[in-house]
Chains A and B, each alone.
Chain A
C-alpha cells in the first residue's frame, strides 16, 4: 500500500548527540515536510522540500538539518544545537508544494532526550 513510513517510532538520545529521523514515501509526491508537535502547540513546520535537491526552512528550523537526495526520502537530523529536542516529529507529503492543502502524514517519531 502507498504511504509514508517514519522510523524509528521511538528514539532516546543523550544530550549533545545528533540523531537522524527517517522518512520515506512511495506516493510519488513531489513535496515533503517535517513538523514538530508539542502538547497544546499544534504543528510547527521545521523544513519542507518541493523538489529533489532543494529545501526551505520553516518556522522553527534552528538546530535541525535535512537533505532531499531522492524524491522518496527526506531525512531530518536533530543536532546538538537544538535546545529542546524532546518532541513528537511528523513527516508529511503532498502532490505538490501547498497544492490543495491535503497532506499525508506518517505515524510520527517520538524523540526523548535524556
Chain B
C-alpha cells in the first residue's frame, strides 16, 4: 500500500517554542489531513487541506498542502502543555478513497 514518511518521530520542546513537522510521500495525494491523538484517546481532526499550495490555520496551528502534492507541513506556534500528544498526517489519493496514515510525531512540551 501507500506509505507516508512523517518526521520527526518525536520532539521534546519547552513551552513557548514553535514546532514544525512534515509528511512526505512518493505518491501524489488529493487531500492531506492532520490529526491529533491525546493519551488514551482516539485521534481528532485538526486541519484538512484539499488544494495544492493551500495554507490553513486553526488557532495556533497552521498546515500547508505542498505544491508538489507529495508533502504537507504542520506548524504549531507558541506551544503550551496541552499540545502534548501524537500528531498524525494522513493522505487521500482521490476523493472517496481510503486514508493512509503517517507513523506519527510524539510531541512533549515541558512547562
Residues of A within 8 A of B (CB): 4, 40-45, 48, 58-59, 90, 92, 96-103, 105-108
Contacts and interface: CB of A to CB of B under 8 A. Distances in A.
Contact of B33 (A41, A101, A106): A101
Contact of B88 (A4, A42, A45, A108): A42
A106 B33 CA distance: 18
Nearest to A96: B96
Contacts, number: 60
B42 interface: yes
Size band of the B side of the interface? 20 to 34
B58 interface: no
B21 interface: no
Interface stretch (B66-74, B77-85, B101-109): B101-109
